[in-house]
Amino acid sequence: MDLSFNAYSHCELCPRRCGIDRASGKSGVCRETSQLMVARCALHYWEEPPISGEAGSGTIFFSGCSLRCVFCQNHEISHEGAGLPVTPARLAQMMLEQEQRGALNVNLVTPLHFAPHVAEAVARARHAGLSIPIVCNTSGYELAEMVDALAGTIDIWLTDFKYADPDLAGRLSGARDYPEVAASALERMVSQLRAAGGADSDEDGRMLRGIIVRHLVLPGHADDSCAVLDRVWDICGNDVDISVMNQYTPNARCRERGGELARTVTADEYELVLDHADDLGFERMWWQESGTVSESFVPAFDYSGVIGPELG
């Protein structure tokens, strides 16, 4: 896959393959042009323990997204365009600043519609001395070819696997092909990990190399959640950690529409999914306590840490 800046001229960086000339200032399906946009750069303490630990994860939130999730909690940046323009040199400097803050890693949140910028910035930061792992925090809706192209760039994949049912994926995220696309991408991630010798952590439990597969249980769809876990088990077995989340919180749009997505996940629904994960044999699983709401995990997209000096 071409990760030069020429890729923006006929964009096929995501599974939508929209072909838009983002380099000319037009917006792709991701709602972004070729101008790199970032909404926040700060420590984040609410990822899984191997990612955040006690020191925090060095999150960098990118604007735009290739999905259309009706329940999105980050709609300010994914749908509404919040963010500031930055250069690859500034992005590289942000990564170094996160390490200086004591971050356990650089956590790139929904970054790959800007993959050429990301690849260049990571290379610049590494050349300047960046030593902490690079995390790609993704919806899972990525091309397998993109995963291959970033084999030398990404150390940890923190990837969603949202749906097993194409109809549900189409209705809630506008992407009927999500299950197959996410499965193909995950297969490549696992293949890379196995080739590298498997997951690796330091003595304090910080992940240095590996994969965490996240799944958000949706109200009324515990059956699909179990089917997702079946799919992940078939692809990965215990080569990955899984994170089964109950933090679904209806946004204003879902509350207005009513129906099952207007409520939270019940304890019975969540327990059913956790029990299924246990039955499958997952050995490294993260879960959340009851009463968790996703709004508590959503930071203020106030452009913290975005403006500053560029890497020379």
Assign 312 a pLDDT band (cuts: 50, 70, 90).
Answer: confident
Output DSSP code: residue 66: S
Tell me, yes or no, whether 5 lies in a domain: no
Give first-to-last CA distance, the chain, whole Å: 28
Residue 265 within a domain: yes
Mean of per-residue pLDDT scores for the chain:
95
Q: What is the C-alpha to C-alpha distance for residues 16 and 306, in angstroms, rounded to an integer?
A: 28
Q: Are strands 106-109 and 57-62 parallel, antiparallel or unpaired?
A: parallel
**pTM of the entire predicted model:** 0.96
Query: Is residue 295 scored above 60 in pLDDT?
Result: no
Residue 21 placed within a domain: no
Copy the structure tokens of residue 278.
């246990």
Three-state DSSP class for residue 31: coil
What pLDDT is stored for residue 293 in this prediction? 57
Residue 259 Cα distances to 224, 226, 270, angstroms? 17, 21, 18
- Can you tell me the mean pLDDT for 110-114? 98
Please report whether residue 306 resides in a domain.
no
User: 155 lies in a domain?
Assistant: yes
Rounded CA separation 261/264 (Å): 7
Residue 86, in any domain of the structure: yes
Rounded to the nearest 10 degrees, how much is the dihedral formed by the CA atoms of 54, 55, 58, 59?
30
The DSSP letter of residue 283 is S
Whether 47 is covered by a domain: the verdict is yes
Total domains in the fold of the chain? 1
The three-class DSSP label of residue 174 is coil
Query: DSSP character for 309?
Result: P
**Domain containing residue 99:** 36-297
Tokens of 72: 């999105």
17 located within any domain = no
- CATH (domain of 115): 3.20.20.70
Q: Is residue 110 a contact partner of residue 104, using CB atoms and an 8 Å limit? A: no
Q: Model confidence at 259, in pLDDT bands (50, 70, 90)?
A: confident
